[in-house]
């Protein structure tokens, strides 16, 4: 088997390599004389520069590929996350531009014609663009990270507790998420204990970023105590719960919600809003 | 011909038998030794090999070296919560952009002492960890370098008197140097472990009397001159007027040191330029101002071990609670000593002085060698 296969493979590999070497690469090199030929005095003819061998010696001063080429100016043709909105003129890293944006037609080079062309298109589509909801990229990033987490809500084994904002905020802080402005909202049906029926129960709560972006999050109740003899052991609790598990606790998968203006403060009833969205 | 046909049929029939489908038989001299593996055995071996390779590829070469180093010598500075290295954080943002942020995507946030205490109290509330009277620990990461590259700040253990004492369940043994027998009794009554007179000093120098068990020493002014020979033995425990160990009122001094805070400066065994100091500064139930005053006195006492000209002694101060893993970085810049201009000038002079000496030596040597050459010619 083997000798026959190599007979077919080898020639194709060779032709491919030859093909690659045939594509042009152009670079600019700046040279200077090692031995500078003397200046021709006025009135006289120039002596041939190939007269002395030394005059044909050059040294490399600069090469085009030495300095890194800077960012590339492009016009975005769609809303690209992390870079900009449609018809924005942005400076992007060359690799990203060439390998990702330009190939997939998410952006076009900022040539004078294209600038005018897309500028006019932007004017025509002004109303449509204004209607679009634009969520800032930081909110989206943070929202995605938060949705991946299953927050263990630590509650006491001995003392009576009711799940409230401060417990959730403190548990979030233990996970490494700091909430600065009381942006945590819980459902009205409060859970209280200590009740070992609720152990490892999943609940839904909402975190609001900058009073505008509501992110649904999942918390898992875990009873703890400072007494080390009473620790409970868990199987891998960090993984995302499956849809079945969520259904068991009555939690439906939800998407984050972006409000038009930063109005969501403590008086806003976030839970009702999200419930009404669920039913849609 | 009939026999040939029968033989062919028989051969075809043999192909249907299961033995024709078995693995190639090995024929030859050492048949038993070269017996091949069955498919299952080959699969097993391949799985084992892949497992071993996966375990090997888990860590890169440098990571494996570090892991081996860690297993041999555990560095307390690198154990949780680890040390602040500014280089690792320089790509992150200074301030969080949104009201909700992930700690790992922003630089270390420094909180004021009251804010940090509020956050700890939230965690230790009865509904959660149920420990509102927990002891508060200050974990200070230290820079142990001095002017000389090979010399580091040495380990020391001292008791810092604090303005707002609290109950700490530690046994403190205090030694009292008192001349008067009446005062000796008074000292023992007010809590000193034992009271000694001038005659015992020679025994200590000889080594007949063990003083390692005692955490601190207090002395009456009458004995101040006689205990000088013990300075080398007692080191940081030596009572002086500066650290409050020398005075007239023995019971008050003993009280101060019984309720003071023990601050141990421990150099790191793996990385000598790092150090740790983790004193317990108070209890969560104390008011914020008391804790702040305690922290101030402790920080000032700790910073006396290194001259402020060389830079900040304390890399980062974390407020933690025992028991627990929650930690918050605290702003203590206002408590750190500021180097005076004179000291900075002195340090620079010493540095440039050394450089000038080196340069002049080199120049002189060059001159001498040139002179020799000329003399030869």
Q: What is the pLDDT of residues B197-224, one digit of tens each?
A: 888 888 888 877 777 777 788 888 887 7
Tell me the C-alpha distance between B313 and B144, whole Å: 7
Question: What is the average per-residue pLDDT within B238-256?
Answer: 77
pLDDT of residue B27: 76
pLDDT category of residue A17 using cuts at 50, 70 and 90:
low
Given an 8 Å threshold on Cβ–Cβ distance, is A161 in contact with B122?
no
Residue B267 contacts residue B287 (beta carbons within 8 Å): no
- Of all residues in chain B, the one with the smallest CA distance to A165 is B122
pLDDT category of residue A23 using cuts at 50, 70 and 90:
confident
pLDDT category of residue B185 using cuts at 50, 70 and 90:
confident
Given an 8 Å threshold on Cβ–Cβ distance, is B129 in contact with A225?
yes
Tell me the C-alpha distance between A251 and A242, whole Å: 11
Given an 8 Å threshold on Cβ–Cβ distance, is B326 in contact with A174?
yes
User: pLDDT tens digit string along A220-263?
Assistant: 888 887 666 555 555 555 567 777 878 888 888 888 888 888 88
Of A139, A178, A207, the CB nearest to B103: A178
Q: What are phi and psi of A205, to 5 degrees?
A: -145, 165
Chain B contact present for A82, CB below 8 A:
no
Evaluate if residue B328 carries a pLDDT over 70. yes
Evaluate if residue B93 carries a pLDDT over 90. no
Instruction: Specify which residues A80 forms β-bridges with.
Output: A84
Which of A57-61, B169-173, B358-362 is predicted least confidently? B358-362
In terms of DSSP bridges, do strands B174-177 and B156-160 run parallel, antiparallel, or are they unpaired? unpaired
- Which has more pLDDT, A14 or A267? A267
* Cβ neighbours, 10 Å, residue B364: 10
pLDDT of residue A26: 87
Evaluate if residue B4 carries a pLDDT over 80. no
Chain B contact present for A154, CB below 8 A:
yes
Chain B contact present for A70, CB below 8 A:
no
Which of A16-30, A169-183, B166-180, B331-345 is predicted least confidently? A16-30
Given an 8 Å threshold on Cβ–Cβ distance, is B100 in contact with A177?
yes
Judged by CB atoms within 8 Å, which residues 315-334 of B form the interface with A?
323, 325-326
Chain B contact present for A195, CB below 8 A:
no
Evaluate if residue B20 carries a pLDDT over 50. no
Question: What is the average per-residue pLDDT within B9-14?
Answer: 60
* Cβ neighbours, 10 Å, residue A80: 21
pLDDT category of residue B319 using cuts at 50, 70 and 90:
very high
Q: B85 to chain A nearest CA, in Å? A: 19
pLDDT of residue A90: 92
Chain A contact present for B123, CB below 8 A:
yes
Given an 8 Å threshold on Cβ–Cβ distance, is A154 in contact with B129?
yes
Given an 8 Å threshold on Cβ–Cβ distance, is A180 in contact with B131?
no
Q: A231 to chain B nearest CA, in Å? A: 12
Instruction: Specify which residues A154 forms β-bridges with.
Output: A222
Question: What is the average per-residue pLDDT within B265-270?
Answer: 84
Percent of chain B exceeding pLDDT 90 equals 11
pLDDT of residue B1: 47
Residue A166 with chain B: CB contacts under 8 Å: 122, 125, 127
In terms of DSSP bridges, do strands A184-185 and A192-193 run parallel, antiparallel, or are they unpaired? unpaired
For CA atoms A156, A159, A162, A165, the dihedral sign is negative
Residue B123 with chain A: CB contacts under 8 Å: 170, 173-174
| Contacts A–B by Cβ distance under 8 A | 87
pLDDT category of residue A123 using cuts at 50, 70 and 90:
very high
Given an 8 Å threshold on Cβ–Cβ distance, is A154 in contact with B128?
yes
Residue A208 with chain B: CB contacts under 8 Å: 99-100
Chain A contact present for B81, CB below 8 A:
no
Tell me the C-alpha distance between A209 and A264, whole Å: 9
Question: What is the average per-residue pLDDT within B243-255?
Answer: 78
User: pLDDT tens digit string along B31-89?
Assistant: 777 777 788 888 999 999 999 988 888 778 888 887 777 667 677 887 777 788 888 88
**Distances from the Cα of A163 to the Cαs of A189, B37, B162, in angstroms?**
10, 62, 39
Evaluate if residue B313 carries a pLDDT over 60. yes
Percent of chain A exceeding pLDDT 70 equals 87
ω into residue B81 within 30 of 0, thus cis? yes
Q: Which helix (H) or strand (E) holds B160?
A: strand B156-160
Residue B100 with chain A: CB contacts under 8 Å: 142, 146, 177-180, 183, 207-210, 215
Of A170, A173, A210, the CB nearest to B98: A210
Q: Take residue A178 and report the two structure tokens written for it.
A: 């700091």
Q: A92 to chain B nearest CA, in Å? A: 19
Question: What is the average per-residue pLDDT within A34-38?
Answer: 93
Residue B28: CA count within 13 A, CB half-sphere:
10
pLDDT of residue B145: 86
Instruction: Specify which residues B276 forms β-bridges with.
Output: B141, B266
Of B104, B126, B326, the CB nearest to A159: B126
Contacts 24+ apart (CB under 8 A), A241-249: A241/A150, A241/A202, A245/A202, A246/A202, A246/A218, A249/A201, A249/A202, A249/A203
Q: To the nearest 5 percent, what fractions of chain A are helix, strand and coil? A: 35, 20, 45
């Amino acid at each position: 088997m083997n000798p026959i296969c190599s007979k077919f493979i080898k020639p194709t590999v060779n032709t491919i390599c030859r093909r690659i070497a045939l594509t042009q690469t152009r670079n600019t090199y700046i040279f200077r004389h090692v031995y500078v030929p003397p200046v021709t005095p006025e009135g006289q003819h120039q002596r041939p520069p190939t007269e002395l061998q030394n005059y044909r010696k050059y040294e490399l001063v600069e090469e085009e590929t030495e300095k890194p080429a800077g960012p590339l100016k492009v016009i975005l043709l769609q809303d690209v996350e992390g870079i900009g909105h449609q018809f924005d003129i942005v400076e992007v890293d060359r690799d990203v531009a060439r390998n990702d944006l330009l190939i997939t037609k998410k952006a076009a080079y900022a040539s004078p014609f294209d600038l005018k062309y897309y500028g006019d298109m932007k004017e025509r589509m002004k109303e449509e663009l204004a209607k679009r909801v634009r969520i800032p990229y930081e909110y989206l990033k943070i929202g995605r990270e938060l949705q991946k987490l299953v927050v263990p809500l630590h509650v006491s084994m001995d003392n009576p507790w009711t799940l409230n904002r401060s417990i959730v905020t403190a548990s979030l802080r233990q996970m490494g998420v700091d909430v600065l402005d009381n942006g945590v909202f819980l459902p009205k049906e409060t859970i209280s204990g200590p009740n070992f029926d609720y152990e490892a129960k999943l609940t839904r709560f909402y975190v609001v970023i900058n009073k505008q972006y509501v992110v649904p999050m999942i918390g898992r109740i875990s009873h703890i105590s400072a007494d080390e003899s009473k620790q409970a052991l868990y199987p891998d609790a960090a993984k995302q719960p499956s849809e079945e598990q969520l259904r068991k606790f009555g939690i439906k998968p939800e998407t984050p919600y972006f409000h038009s203006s930063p109005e969501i403060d403590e008086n806003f009833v976030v839970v009702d809003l999200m419930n009404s969205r669920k039913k849609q | 011909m009939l026999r040939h046909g029968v033989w062919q049929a028989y051969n075809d029939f043999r192909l249907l038998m299961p033995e024709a489908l078995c693995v190639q038989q090995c024929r030859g001299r050492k048949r038993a030794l070269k017996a091949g593996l069955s498919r299952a055995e080959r699969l097993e071996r391949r799985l084992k090999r892949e497992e071993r390779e996966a375990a090997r590829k888990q860590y890169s070469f440098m990571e494996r070296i570090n892991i081996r180093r860690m297993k041999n010598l555990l560095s307390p500075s690198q154990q949780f919560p680890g040390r602040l290295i500014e280089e690792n954080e320089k790509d992150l943002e200074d301030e969080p952009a949104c009201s909700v942020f992930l700690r790992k995507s922003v630089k270390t946030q420094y909180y004021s002492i009251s804010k940090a205490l509020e956050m700890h109290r939230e965690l230790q509330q009865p509904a959660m960890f149920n420990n509102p009277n927990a002891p508060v620990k200050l974990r200070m990461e230290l820079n142990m370098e001095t002017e000389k590259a090979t010399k580091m700040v040495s380990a020391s253990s001292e008791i810092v008197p604090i303005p707002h004492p609290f109950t700490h369940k530690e046994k403190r043994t205090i030694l009292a140097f008192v001349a008067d027998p009446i005062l000796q009794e008074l000292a023992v009554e007010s809590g000193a472990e034992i009271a000694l007179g001038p005659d015992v000093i020679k025994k200590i120098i000889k080594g007949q009397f063990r003083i390692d068990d005692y955490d601190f020493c207090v002395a009456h002014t009458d004995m101040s001159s006689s205990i000088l020979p013990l300075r080398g033995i007692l080191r940081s425990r030596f009572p002086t007027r500066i650290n409050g160990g020398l005075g007239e009122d023995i019971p008050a001094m003993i009280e101060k040191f019984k309720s003071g805070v023990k601050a141990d400066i421990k150099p790191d065994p793996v990385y000598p330029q790092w150090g740790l100091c983790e004193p317990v500064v108070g209890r969560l139930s104390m008011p914020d101002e008391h804790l702040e005053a305690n922290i101030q006195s402790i920080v000032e006492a700790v910073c006396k071990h290194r001259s402020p000209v060389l830079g900040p002694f304390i890399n980062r101060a974390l407020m933690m609670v025992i028991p627990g893993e929650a930690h918050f970085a605290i702003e203590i810049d206002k408590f750190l000593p500021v180097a005076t201009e004179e000291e900075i000038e002195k340090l620079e002079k010493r540095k440039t002085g050394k450089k000038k000496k080196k340069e002049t030596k080199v120049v002189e040597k060059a001159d001498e060698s040139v002179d020799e050459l000329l003399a030869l010619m």
